[in-house]
Structure 1
């Protein structure tokens, strides 16, 4: 690893929100041509530190030197021009514009005063080929999957020829092949002298590509170590601020079901949705967590959205509490007692500029209105009850939800549906992008809700979460339900065998038909 003068030095950075410390004497040092991991629980201060660096937030105290000179960027655009490109977890592009337009937005190529489309299309295609992606760059970005959109965002950032590239959870929407392509690009950047700050909650990824790791906790920098000198157990302990022995042996926050499942809450048979889902079936009973497993593109989210009325199925049947239903829009499903936390909480869940109070009560607002006026007393009582019940950490109900950590945002979304008293709660990647501490809290909460009689349908890409958390697992492959596994048979091996269409003996009870 290079031993030259640091490319970036952030010292004693302070940042407060409404008097609450988000950063307290935080620091970060990055060498030229190194990949630095930045880790910590949600709320540890990682994203805030990056936003201070790139000018999205002003700092209250501290100093920043970049490439040998003091800096104070006024905006992320100024930081980009100054040599720092950032790729955020939330895709920050224009979906209705073409892939080419998104890559060259704000720096379009011109010839004789006119936009040079042929040159831009060719350069965009060449750039994406570095990422092993061959697509029609003239088509709107929205035509492509979330994974492709994420890779386009990464390609755009890399194309600025920055000295430092910051990647905030860039792998959260990528499959294994795409992750390997991204890691190859990161290694190539390092070989070309570019430094990378890599933020991820997938700790295994750090050991594949990072040179050093910086750990943050409670707004402070706890340690910076060479990656080879710290094992995963000690890394988790540092993030949690706990003794290693207290972490050892901990897998998830799930516990075994408290008792037998109750009456049928949901039954879906023969669902067909466009070309993505051809024959999906599942059922959920009261007091039961049902896992929905499958590879990217297997039809998990499409099945969930069909049940919620967001994308009505082309064929098949859905029963709720024993009664046939045909939800044509989410409002229908909500009225029938279905809640849904989507995979992308930023795009489809929270309303970022609204308060915790407003976000939490959004689903029941019609119930709180009398004569066109919101009953603020009832609203406050409900918010206080669920903030306390779910241990939501915020300065108060009026704090903007965008200022909360990812784990606390997810708790607000759970509270939104719990206060509506649903019969069925659909959770699509409920712990995605959430640190190990908040993840265990949410997993424990999900089990508690099921033990109280709620039916839960949980989609997760983490096999460990499905294996330990689900009382029953349905496996989807190529738009079909290929296995129905009770908890005792739902091992990681059995689920993967089902995904791969291996012998039925390895997968337990294979789906009918």
Structure 2
């Protein structure tokens, strides 16, 4: 028996897990369920050694154990396969599968021949159509996901954790995986599955544990559960019949001024399969759904960072095909990333330089920029958006996380874009900074700006968005508007519980 008791994990002011409990037995396949922000991934990372909890205890076979890192986890017989692959792209399939468990000879030299045999055996077991010597980077996404699973299974784990690994698999690959899991179950392995595909839960799992807000709220046998019961435990409310939606034109009965953005049947494989969205002047459009359903790829395609396979983007009445974000920005688009460390903030540059960075995209390539102009622009932005700084000369990384994000938001709003795109902008931001960012965005829409915000926080979307498009496996499963912007309907749509192709409008 594998047990977790009273597991608590805080990331600064954010409580990811609050005295959560979880257990799974050998020879059992258990689903770990919950909506965005429920703590599922954090719980998996605690078991895998990637996250150390602030409180709680873990027991294996009724004995307390300590998991401080990935090595501790592996020694206990735990293996994990992630949706965000842990594979090294430039290495071969074989080297990825045996990484950290390389068979060695008497002198400690890696036995390449034995490694090849081991890799070939696990590839055959999972019917993966590739060779051990193939480079991972040359394989299709679904094959890479299967190799991620093969890598975990090859460790012969006592406890196997699968975190959304079926998201990019084809139906036949899912069937093969499930047959293998049934074999592992008979062999006595304990298996935990995290997935957004509810039909898979009922097909393969014996029991489930449901998290909400970092707490364990329910456990039960799948034979005694139904979808309404699961949604109830995730949200606290039962979805009514309307939660499945009624097919209708998404723009029906809409009187919100001129459309600034019209996206028609956008495709960017493998994540974006057929997305149609409309945004009007002075409107906040929310993009919701479980993580990894194509939201980020969609936002970046609008900005010109990706080239779509097909579909049309009509912006300000003109069909556009932006070749780069720079082109989109010159046409009065703005972009705020939630990953400020990688995509938004220049950490060692000054606050003033960071704020002025957006304006440079509209300037002359070889124009002279004086410090007075940079500081004047930065000072106005800092004052308008209440960004708490010591000095404009201080590096951006001297600011708190919330103030860094307000800096990024202020950078773009100061340029007065017609369309502002935000990709999970308040992720990891304290609640006061989040409220201030929301206040800024609402004021912008009152002045005529169109805002499109993707968020992994359902409460944020329900609070700020006029309409919410829910993405499910690369398509719009539903659009919520008016009184029907409720958590239970949002969660139902996130799990694909809609009754029509291309997305249903659920409006009040």
Over 3 Å counting, the alpha-carbon distance change for 1:57 and 1:321 in structure 2 is closer
CA contact (8 A) 2:160 2:191 kept: yes
Q: Residue 254 of structure 2 aligns with which residue?
A: 258
CA contact (8 A) 1:356 1:397 kept: no
Over 3 Å counting, the alpha-carbon distance change for 1:83 and 1:286 in structure 2 is same
Residue of structure 1 aligned with 2:381, choices 378, 386, 394: 378
CA contact (8 A) 2:153 2:160 kept: yes
CA contact (8 A) 1:357 1:383 kept: no
Over 3 Å counting, the alpha-carbon distance change for 1:315 and 1:266 in structure 2 is same
For the residue of structure 2 that corresponds to 1:190, the secondary structure is helix
Residue of structure 1 aligned with 2:119, choices 109, 116, 124: 124
CA contact (8 A) 1:261 1:285 kept: no
Matched, 1:89 2:83: yes
Over 3 Å counting, the alpha-carbon distance change for 1:247 and 1:197 in structure 2 is farther
Residue of structure 2 aligned with 1:350, choices 315, 339, 343: 339
Count of matched residue positions in the alignment of Structure 1 and Structure 2:
418
For residues 292-346 of structure 1, what are the alpha-carbon distances to aligned partners after superposition, in whole Å with 9 as ceiling and x for unaligned?
xxxxxxx9999987764335589999875455766332332233245689xxxxx
Cα distance in 2, alignment partners of residues 252 and 380 from structure 1: 45
Matched, 1:99 2:93: yes
Comparing 15-24 with 62-71, greater Cα deviation is found at 15-24
Q: Residue 161 of structure 2 aligns with which residue?
A: 166
**Alignment RMSD (CA, Å):** 5.3
CA contact (8 A) 1:368 1:379 kept: no
For residues 379-406 of structure 1, what are the alpha-carbon distances to aligned partners after superposition, in whole Å with 9 as ceiling and x for unaligned?
586599xxxxxxxxxx9726999xxxxx
Structure 1 residues 419-498: aligned runs within 5 Å: 438=457, 442=461, 448=467, 460-461=472-473, 465-466=476-477
For the residue of structure 1 that corresponds to 2:424, the secondary structure is helix
Cα distance in 1, alignment partners of residues 458 and 84 from structure 2: 19
Q: Residue 503 of structure 1 aligns with which residue?
A: none
CA contact (8 A) 1:15 1:60 kept: yes
Structure 2: unaligned runs, 5 residues or longer? 286-293, 361-369, 388-399, 407-421, 428-433, 482-497, 504-508
Q: Residue 176 of structure 1 aligns with which residue?
A: 171
Cα distance in 1, alignment partners of residues 172 and 461 from structure 2: 29
Residue of structure 2 aligned with 1:207, choices 202, 210, 223: 202
Q: Report the alpha carbon displacement of residue 232 of structure 1 after superposing the two structures with TM.
A: 1.3
CA contact (8 A) 1:55 1:72 kept: no
Q: Residue 291 of structure 2 aligns with which residue?
A: none
Comparing 410-419 with 179-188, greater Cα deviation is found at 410-419
Q: Report the alpha carbon displacement of residue 66 of structure 1 after superposing the two structures with TM.
A: 0.8
Structure 1: unaligned runs, 5 residues or longer? 1-6, 291-298, 342-347, 385-394, 402-407, 450-455, 471-490, 497-513
For the residue of structure 2 that corresponds to 1:221, the secondary structure is strand
Q: Residue 397 of structure 1 aligns with which residue?
A: 402
Normalising by structure 1, what TM-score? 0.63
Matched, 1:13 2:32: no
Q: Report the alpha carbon displacement of residue 238 of structure 1 after superposing the two structures with TM.
A: 1.0
Matched, 1:410 2:406: no
Q: Residue 4 of structure 1 aligns with which residue?
A: none
Q: Report the alpha carbon displacement of residue 160 of structure 1 after superposing the two structures with TM.
A: 0.6
Q: Report the alpha carbon displacement of residue 260 of structure 1 after superposing the two structures with TM.
A: 8.0
For the residue of structure 2 that corresponds to 1:166, the secondary structure is strand
